[in-house]
Amino acid sequence: MLTQFSCRKPFEPTLNSPQTGYLVVEGFINLKGVTSIKLNRTKKLEEQVVYKPELKAKVQIVGENSTIYEVKEKTDGLYESETLDLPAQKYHLKIKTADGKEYESKLIEGKPTPLIDSVSWKREQNGVEIKVNSHDDQNKTKYYKWTYDEVWEIHANVLANLKYVKSNIPGTNITYIGVARRTPEEIKQVYNCWQYGSSNQILLGSSAKLSKDIISSPINFIPNDNVRLAVLYSINVKQTALDLAGYNFYLNLKNNTETNGSIFDHQPSETTGNIVCVSDTGEQAIGYVGVATIQEKRIFIEPMFNSNYKFPCNTDILKIFSNQDTLAKYAPNYQPIDYDSPSLQSYIIVDSRCADCTFWGDNKRPPFWPN
């Protein structure tokens, strides 16, 4: 037995990939709006880095009549065009990386995406299921892809009615710490915040086997004990029409990346797409750039499940007097929330994570958020 186990060696597969990794292209050419393209590189299994963005690339949308629309780098690895209204014709994407290699997607006819009929939600026993519903009267779409962005309001565990006020004693380097009452607006700044999320799965649907192009598909599930349902939740669903080749690409990618590794799963297969390296035919690229319009619909879900949700923090309440040594000791990690005795200048303080929502989210109100 000892001999058998001592002969085992870790398996290290030999993969013939470039030193920088394969170029991965994510996105669609949006016929009516902003085209967003993400460029990054695959990484080796032993690499610790999570994301390898492709920087300083030149990205262009090119029509079959050779009309060019620039897609410029906005942030690391994210390239965006201006708001476009592209005329009806075939389009493809051209990419030139900083090292001089050139890539192109296949020339594809633009495909209109039908409007989203509704985004609905239903309370189940364990939480809320969200569905997207759509149809195409002309029976031409057949294949759908969805993504979503979500945002939800959060509240601090307690109201912080007071704040620290720091000032320098004139003529010295000594900082004086005091306590003052917050204005109503200042209270909101630490009590009302927002968290953000987005789809992390490949969401696909097909009506190809149905007599009518009508589709309804679950896209998200929120458990009952999740903070998303505590105050107010919003989801914005984006729908894109796919052609059959695009649908098969994403279905293959989904099967390769989202299965759990059981013997009943689909066997892994090669995922390439419609991107080729024209300057080096021996180098592979990964991605599928479709051409379509994108439809969006946003809904809000009112709070009804977790109005008493509390963030994990030290809930112990402390009472302190207003002297410099005490304030200097507690100010880094505790917030004053109210007076214990105004006449004696003593305060009630709590863990800052309980009283300041910016530990958990962003206190800038989204422009579409209701007042």
Quick one: which of 234, 215, 235 has its CA closest to 114? 215
Which range among 14-18, 26-30, 139-143, 249-253 shows the weakest confidence by mean pLDDT? 14-18
Rounded to whole angstroms, how far apart are CA atoms 164 and 175? 12
Which residues, 6 or more positions from 258, have their beta carbon under 8 angstroms from its beta carbon?
201, 202
Angle 336-341-342 (CA atoms, 0-180°, nearest 5)? 80
Among residues 34, 26, 137, the alpha carbon closest in space to that of 82 is found at 34
Angle subtended at Cα 29 by Cα 27 and Cα 30, rounded to the nearest 5 degrees: 110
CA distance 1 to 58: 59
In this structure, how many other beta carbons lie within 10 angstroms of the beta carbon of residue 224? 13
Residue 227 has pLDDT above 80, yes or no: yes
Nearest alpha-carbon partner for 254 in 306, 318, 196, 206: 206
Contact in structure between 129 and 61 (CB atoms under 8 Å): no
**What's the CA gap between 292 and 253, in Å, rounded?**
20
Q: What is the pLDDT of residues 321-361, one digit of tens each?
A: 988 999 999 999 999 999 998 787 899 999 999 999 999 99
322: enclosing H helix or E strand: none
Residues 6+ apart with CB under 8 A from 302: 232
Which residues are CB-contacts of 3 (< 8 A; sequence separation ≥ 6)? none
Tell me, what's the pLDDT at 225? 86
Q: Do the bridges between strand 36-41 and strand 84-85 make them parallel or antiparallel, or are there none, so unpaired?
A: unpaired
Residue that is written with structure tokens 């390439």 in the block? 272
What does the DSSP assignment read for 139-166? S---EEEEEEEEEEEEE-SS---EEEEE
Three-state DSSP at 247 gives helix
d(CA 16, CA 21): 10
Give the pLDDT of residue 21. 82
- Give mean pLDDT, residues 98-109: 95
Is the entire prediction scored with pTM above 0.75? yes
Least confident among 10-24, 40-54, 143-157:
10-24
Q: Is the distance from CB of 289 to CB of 29 less than 8 angstroms?
A: yes
Cα–Cα distances (Å) from 349 to 183, 238, 316, 330, in that order, read 18, 44, 9, 9
pLDDT (0 to 100) of residue 49: 59
pLDDT 10s digits, 297-325: 999 999 876 667 899 999 899 999 988 99
* Burial of 338 (C-beta count, 10 Å sphere; 0-12/13-18/19+): middle
Give the three-class secondary structure for 325.
Answer: helix
- Does 125 have pLDDT greater than 70? yes
**Confidence at residue 117, expressed as pLDDT on a 0 to 100 scale:** 98
pLDDT given for residue 341 in this prediction? 87
Which of 120-124, 128-132, 175-179, 358-362 comes out lowest in average pLDDT? 175-179
- Give residue 247's identity as a one-letter amino acid code: Y
The answer, yes or no, to whether residue 85 has pLDDT greater than 60, is yes
Number of Cβ atoms within 10 Å of the Cβ of 318: 15
pLDDT at 1 over 60: no
3-state secondary structure of 190: helix
Contacts of 82 (CB under 8 A, 6+ apart): 34, 69, 70
Other CB atoms within 10 Å distance of the CB of residue 134: 26
Least reliable range by pLDDT among 70-74, 196-200, 271-275: 271-275
Q: How confident is the model at residue 143 (pLDDT cuts 50, 70, 90)?
A: very high
Q: Domains along the chain?
A: 11-110 (2.60.40), 158-192+309-359 (no CATH)
pLDDT of residue 20: 65
